[in-house]
Every structure is written in structure tokens, then in C-alpha cells.
Structure 1
Amino acid sequence: MQSVCLQWDTVLRGGLVALLLVASATAAPAQAQDAPPPAVGVATAALRDMTPSVRYTGRAEAVDRVELRARVEGFLEHRLFEEGGEVAAGDLLFLIEKAPYEAILATRQAQVKVAAADVETAAAQLARGEQLLRGNNIPAAEVDERRARLLLDQAKVAEAEAAVRSTEIELSYTEIRAPISGRISRSAFSVGAVIGPGSGTLATIVSEDPIYVNFPVSQAVLTRMRQDTQARGGAEDVVVRAELPTGDVYPHPGTIAFAEVEVQPGTDTLPIRARFPNPDRLLTPGQFLGVAVELGEPSPKLMIPLAALLVDQAGTYVLVVGDDDVVEQRRVRLLERAGEGGETIVADGLQAGERVIVEGIQKVRPGQKVAPSAVAEGPAS
């Protein structure tokens, strides 16, 4: 009897466990169905007026670049700038020991006075000789000799004065000043070092505002640029835009400043130089940049944020949120990147007004219902 009761108890427990498992399995889909749709941020594909452009890779170059060198020899007494900082034209940067040149200057100034005294003596002797000559009390040859001595002493004064000016120039060279405004490099020499004309570059100054960006263009684009230049009235009216290494569009447009006179035979391209204002010092000499030359007139282009783009083995696609808030995968063909807000031009695959997911992409899949909310739009046209 006890054995039968134990068996019946086991059956009851097993049945209870089975019922609990069935109930749990039944509740799971119900809970999944009750879960709210994931929240995503969407942007609306919009038409904006964009000017056609041709893109290149360019390199920034300083408008002015100066290598500072010592013009006299001596101990470097002071370095009066912050390495890597900005300096203004005329700022005192290096100071070479002045004392030796001041001593030489004092000596040569004294030599001028000695030579001037000799001139006074020679002039007095010549005047006395001419007076004696009128009374035939002195040979004419001696008077000629006194006149020649005066001329010689006058020449010595001129020579001494020239030596003073030369020493004054050398003394001024002990002060090395900035010939241009710009950013200065590190110093190649420490205070206390002996420097001179053979020491090489002490430091380099590069101007930063404005700044050049050099890039090559093909002959076909060159022809279009010239046609556009004639239509607009001048090369200064052709707009050039730069893209920073971060991918952001540089906020200040540039203009064509110079075009080489001959096509490079090895590359079949023509070097072009654009000038950009650089008040915020975002562009640095030597920096590589994207360059876009705007050609033609603005026309409407379909724009979406770069954040909406996804890539797989089949190509580029976006996730579109339909009117029923259901996600759809959509293949797109891109024209080019443009705009200050990190946008791209869509050539095919989307229509104006359609919503694309830009935030929360990793949480959703095609066919899933979502809770969309608009994010900040790109720049207005």
C-alpha cells in the first residue's frame, strides 16, 4: 500500500511539473508579443540644392614659410618664444650675446674720432701751407703733399664710418626677430649654445591664415573649370571646398589662386592652388585634405545622413521605416558625399520624404515594427 502511494505521489508531481512547463512556454510568446517596439531615431530623405563638384585629394601649404638663421656668431643668451606657439611679425625670438659686438662698435666709433682729428690737423696744415705759398715761403710740392694728406685722412674718416655702420648691422643681427606672423617650430638650439651662420636653421615660422591647398586636376576637369570661370566672370568666383581628416566639411570656402602653366606629362594633370581663410587654425601646413571644386549651377539632390548607411557583401543599403512603422531593407546607389552635416547624395533607391533609421540600427531587423522619432535634420539648403 505504501509503495502504491509513493508511485501516485510521483505521478502527481511529474504532472504538476509538466503543467508548469506548458504554462511557461505558453506565456513566453505572449510576453514577447506584449513587449513594446524598439525606439529608433529616423531622418527624412530630403531634396536640397547642391552644386555639382569634382573631388580630389589636396595638401595644405603655408602661404609664407621662413627658416630663421643666425647671421653672426656668438653665445645664444635667450630664447624668447614658446615652441609651437604663435608669433607676430617683429617679435624678438632669439638674442645672441651682444657684449663682443658692442665692444667692437665702441672701438670703431673711437677710430672715427681719431680719423676726424687727423682731418682737422691736415686741413690746418694745408691752409698754413697755402698762405706760405702765396709769399713764396714754401715749395709748391709741399703744399701738394699737404693737400694729398688731407684727402687721405678724409678717406680714412669715411672708412672708419663705414666700419661703424658694418658693426652696427652686426650688432643688430644679435637680435633675431620674426619676419612674418605665424606659428613657430621648436628651437634647434638651447640657450648657451654657440651659433652662427653655419649653424643651420634655428627655428621655422609658417603662416596659417590664409593658407594654400594644392591639388591636381585632370585636363577634362580643367576644361570645365575654364568654361565655368568664363561663365562666372573669373577664377576667384569658382568655389573650392575642403574636407577635414575627421570627415567634416571645412566651414570656409576657398577660391582658385593659381594654376600651373603646363600640364604635367607624367600624370596628365595640372597643379592647382586654392586659397582658404583659416581664422580658426583648423588647417595645418602639410595636412592632407579632401578637395571639392564646384562646377555648374545648383540642382536638387536627395540627401540622407551618412549615419543611415549600412554595407554588406551585396553593397550599400539603408533601413527604411514605412508608414506602418515596419522596417524595410532598401538598396541604394550613392552619388557623392556632401554637406556640412555629414550627408551623402542618393542617386537611386529612395524617394524624398521617406524615413531612414540613423539611431538604434543595431536593435532592429527588416520586417520588425519600431517606434520612430525624428532626430535633428541636416543643414537647410
Structure 2
Amino acid sequence: MKIAARAVMMALALILAPLLGGCDEAVQPVAAPAPPPAVSVVKAELQDLRASVSFSARVEALHKVDLRARIEGYLDKQNFAEGATVKTGDLLYVIEKAPYEAKVAAAEASVATARARFDRTEIELKRQTTLVIKEASAQTKLDDAKASRDEAKGNLDKLIAELDQAKLQLSYTEIRAPIDGRIGKSLLSVGSFVSPNSGTLATIVQQNPIGVTFPVGQRDILALREKMGADATAADRTVYVEFGKGKRYAEPGKVDFLDVAVNTGTDAVNVRAIFPNPQGMLVDGQLVTAVVEADKAEPMLVVPVNAVQIDQSGSFVLIVSAENKIEVRRVELVRQDGNNIAIGKGLSAGDLVVVEGVQKVRPGQTVEATLIKPEA
């Protein structure tokens, strides 16, 4: 009986062992839920900014001169470094002088000969005049003397004009800068034969001041008046230039020219503003953005540039709601000002806008937000 009881007990143990093991697994502790993702936010704040309208613009030199040869000859000297700044009157090129100096010398000799002949005829005219008065000579001789003097005078004047022309041709052997500016690449090298048909030797572009030209269309004019008042025109506004990433050129400009007619192809009027350009940062032909600003500042909502996202539907920001959940807000962008961007519609003052951790969250997700101070 004892042996049988012991066998029963062993059998029960073998049967219950898997069940007891399963119970041990079932009571293991459940892992804790992951904490909400952390994001950094800033408050959308009101700042005093000037209303503005932006236009695509191009930098245009006020004066640009193509240097050309006026005479024929071999290019003897080049007295400038390509890309250098030149002043009015600087000697830039010299064309061989010898042939033109020889022409001047020959013309001077001809003038001297003609002047001597004229002097002789002048003396003879005076002598014949005296003799006629004294009735010691015939009137016909006086008439002949006067005709010879007049002929000599005409020949002298002709040769003097030829001398002036020869001197003018000689002066053309020196090509000087007609304006202050920056000179470009020399298209012909020393030793080349040049003539009026050789085309441009080099180009000088005035850099300071410099112009920025932009078209103002009818829709732009309406936007200008809507933002700045019914009497607003580009002509009485300060204009600023912005480069690729919203970086603003330090010097403001003033409008100095409005075209007299509307371009029928674009329905726009070309406007030009003049800018100081002492450092040469604005370059002829450069594409920039011209910004026309209002005279008075008005409060606008501002957020950091890196808070703004763009998708197929346009611009948006992520905000953290009062329940610490992510929401999407579609926004209307006004303009960039340094590291900040002004928002026209879509936000309210005090909204918590996500600036860091955007990639880690999705709309409706609960987050842990840390408020930071936005960059200036």
C-alpha cells in the first residue's frame, strides 16, 4: 500500500508540474508604457514690424560702358588688372602710336609750309595796297594779291584741320576709363590687331551707386495699397534688398525712376531703386528680392523660421494644445526677418509652436513640451 501511494503521488507531481510552471509565467510583471516624446516649443509673440510687399528684382548698373577701338593698329599695352576698380581718366589700353605720330608730324610740316606762304601773300597784299593808294601800281595787281592771300588762307585752314584730325587720331591710341567702376575681362590681348570692327575690348560697370529694377503689376499695386493704405505708391517708399535666404542688404534704397508706360506683355510698370554699394555686394545682373515697406510698424505674430514646415497643401506649424497634444495649424506667411518669420493668419498670440522634435511626433499625439526662448 505504501508503494502504491508513493507511485500515485509521483504521477500527480508529473501531471501538475506543467500547470504550476504556466502559473509562474502568467504572474510575471507587465512592462511600463513609454513616456511621451519630448519637444521644444516657443510662444508665438507679437512684434512691431512694418507691412511689406516683395518683388522679384534684378540688379542693374546705372552706367555700363563697352570699351572699343576707334582706330586701327596693334594693341601695345594693357594697363589694368582684370576685375580691378578704375577711375575716370585712367589709362587702360595703348594702341601703337608711331604711325599716328608720323601723321601728326607730317601735318605739322604742311601747316608750317602753308603758314609761310600765307605770310608772304599777306605781305604782298599790303605792299600792293600801298602802291595802289599812291597810284604806283595797277588795281589788277592788288586784286591778284588779294586772291593769292585768300587762296593761301584757305589752304592753311584746310591743313590746320587735317592736323587737328591727325592729333585726334593720335589721341585715340590711348583708351581711358570714361566712368568710375569695375572693369571686366580683357577680350583681346596685347599684340592683337584692333579696329572699330573688333568689338568690345572690355566692359566697365559702375558699382556705386547701383540700381535694382523690379516690375510692379496691377495685383501688386492692389496688395501694396491694401497693406499700406490707399495712397501708397512704390515711389515714396523705402526699398530693401534681400538675398537668397532672407538675408537683408544693410543699405536701404530709394525709388528714382518709374517707367512711363505699362509693359503690355506683363501688365506691369518697371520701377528702379538706387542703392549705395561701397563694398560691391550688389553685382550687375544679380537676382534679388526687392521689399517695399510701409512707413509705420504694426504688430505681427512672429515665430522662428525652423518652426515652419511645407507640404503639398502649403505652409503649416505644429502646436501643443492645452491637453499637451500635437495639432496642425495652416499658416499664411508674410515675410522673413532674420531668424524669424511673420505669420499673417493661422496662429494666435501665446500658441506653443514646436521648434525641435517635429520629426518625432504626429497630430493628436500627447507630448512633453519644454518652453524655450526664441532666438533674436
Equivalent residue number for residue 94 of structure 2: 95
Q: What are the residue-to-residue correspondences of 1:216-255 with 2, within 5 Å? A: 216-219=215-218, 221-222=220-221, 236-255=235-254
Per-residue CA distance 1:159-212 (angstroms, 9 max, x = gap): 222222222221111111111112222112111111111211111122122222
Partners in 1 of 2:311 and 2:145 — Cα distance? 104
Question: Contact 2:239/2:255 (CA < 8 Å) preserved in 1?
Answer: yes
Question: Is 1:338 aligned with 2:351?
Answer: no
Q: Given residue 113 of structure 1, which amino acid in structure 2 is its aligned partner?
A: A
Equivalent residue number for residue 149 of structure 1: 148
Cα pair distance change 1:167/1:314, threshold 3 Å: closer
Question: Is 1:170 aligned with 2:165?
Answer: no
Q: What are the residue-to-residue correspondences of 1:100-179 with 2, within 5 Å? A: 100-134=99-133, 136-179=135-178
Whichever of the two has the greater Rg, that structure is 2
Partners in 2 of 1:342 and 1:307 — Cα distance? 8
Question: Contact 2:302/2:341 (CA < 8 Å) preserved in 1?
Answer: yes
Partners in 1 of 2:84 and 2:339 — Cα distance? 32
Question: Contact 2:42/2:371 (CA < 8 Å) preserved in 1?
Answer: no
> What's the TM-score, normalizing by structure 2?
0.78
Partners in 1 of 2:275 and 2:325 — Cα distance? 44
> What's the TM-score, normalizing by structure 1?
0.77
Q: Given residue 338 of structure 1, which amino acid in structure 2 is its aligned partner?
A: Q
Identity %: 38
Q: Given residue 171 of structure 1, which amino acid in structure 2 is its aligned partner?
A: L
Partners in 1 of 2:206 and 2:42 — Cα distance? 41
Q: What's the CA shift for 1:333?
A: 0.8
Partners in 1 of 2:373 and 2:361 — Cα distance? 16
Per-residue CA distance 1:46-79 (angstroms, 9 max, x = gap): 2122232233212221111111111111111111
Partner secondary structure for residue 109 of structure 2: helix
Equivalent residue number for residue 350 of structure 1: 347
Partners in 2 of 1:76 and 1:125 — Cα distance? 50
Q: What's the CA shift for 1:302?
A: 0.3
Cα pair distance change 1:109/1:230, threshold 3 Å: farther
Cα pair distance change 1:69/1:43, threshold 3 Å: farther
Equivalent residue number for residue 66 of structure 1: 65
Alignment: residue pair count: 349
Equivalent residue number for residue 18 of structure 2: none
Partners in 1 of 2:309 and 2:220 — Cα distance? 31
Cα pair distance change 1:267/1:237, threshold 3 Å: closer
Q: Given residue 252 of structure 2, which amino acid in structure 1 is its aligned partner?
A: P
RMSD: 3.6
Unpaired segments of 5 or more residues in structure 2?
1-20
Question: Contact 1:183/1:207 (CA < 8 Å) preserved in 2?
Answer: yes
Partner secondary structure for residue 288 of structure 2: strand
Q: Given residue 262 of structure 2, which amino acid in structure 1 is its aligned partner?
A: V
